[in-house]
Structure 1
């Protein structure tokens, strides 16, 4: 989380001096979920940071976009045996969101499904809780 904050702090003055611009933070669909590891917690903190930066930088005409995506074919998840989205497709979706002025871009079906379930009962996200 400190890396993206440092990037925002470095580039925001440059963008503001040039009349504004955009920062895109790449989030995971795990930004909204909990698992028995620290990874989703760091993604959730990053999501919160993005939301705060959006508010802080709006007056400087800087659009801060949070892009949520699940499994994308990158070296980070090369070894996972799961269906993966093409990074070029994800970039195209993000650019479309930027052009539309979106504050948040939900890039793929997995992320859309998770986001939709957030407004439902907790058991929709965590079926194992239904038995308790």
Structure 2
């Protein structure tokens, strides 16, 4: 599906990868790009249409679907990582919050906007996932809760492939590792520039790709996911 002349909505479109996606869609000639955020005043991209939307608040989602009734491409980008370092001992409220934002948020948006997209003649839904949604590699156990939210989102995306394409709605899942958004300050980690991720994300939409591995980390993790865990976690085989 071409971005040119499409009407795009990006959740979390005020910063980081979300802002890069908004800018890239505009650069490719989208007719209109809604940059959705809890506080629309934080949207500073010229030519973007600020849209108030909290992915955990059904009322704002309903209102957004009414206002943005011309959407043909939905990009579920908004997400959080609340540093749940041990899923067995950390407060469950934070685990629930991650699921509310990272899983139920995109699900709410799809429930609200798929009928809009179908009514507009079809289009595309892209769910912004993570390399961790494919596999939790050694050393990343502290991200288990976050990874679980992204794995759940991946399963919903894949499950909907049984029904949505027949209604004219394409689906893609975008995976990435570390991204240079200002939130990750570890200088030892190689981070992909947000604009590079955005270009690959929209390239995938235009190419009709079902899954987009936007960086080398995602490619490596995807390959690791096909292996027997005992090959990657030696202690598993020794137990």
Q: Deviations over 1:5-30 (max 9, x none)?
A: 11111111111111111111010100
Paired with 1:30 and 1:127, the residues of 2 have a C-alpha distance of 20
Question: Which residue of structure 2 lines up, in the alignment, with residue 63 of structure 1?
Answer: 170
Q: Deviations over 1:100-131 (max 9, x none)?
A: 11111111101100101222232444355355
- TM-score normalised by length of structure 1: 0.87
8 Å contact 1:31–1:47 — kept in the other structure?
Answer: yes
Counterparts in 2 of 1:125 and 1:99: CA distance versus 1, 3 Å: farther
Structure 1 unaligned regions, length at least 5? none
Question: Which residue of structure 2 lines up, in the alignment, with residue 4 of structure 1?
Answer: 106
Question: Which residue of structure 2 lines up, in the alignment, with residue 33 of structure 1?
Answer: 135
Bigger Cα Rg:
2
8 Å contact 1:118–1:125 — kept in the other structure?
Answer: no
Count of aligned residue pairs for this structure pair? 131
Question: Which residue of structure 1 lines up, in the alignment, with residue 54 of structure 2?
Answer: none
Q: Matches of residues 72-87 of structure 1 in structure 2 within 5 Å?
A: 72-75=179-182, 77-81=183-187, 82-87=189-194
Counterparts in 2 of 1:20 and 1:116: CA distance versus 1, 3 Å: same
Counterparts in 2 of 1:7 and 1:30: CA distance versus 1, 3 Å: same
1:98 aligns with 2:205: yes
Superposition deviation, residue 55 in structure 1: 2.5
Question: Which residue of structure 2 lines up, in the alignment, with residue 47 of structure 1?
Answer: 154
Among 100, 117, 122, the residue aligned to 1:15: 117
- The answer to which structure has the higher helix fraction is 1
- TM-score normalised by length of structure 2: 0.51
> Runs of 4 or more off by more than 6 Å in structure 1?
none
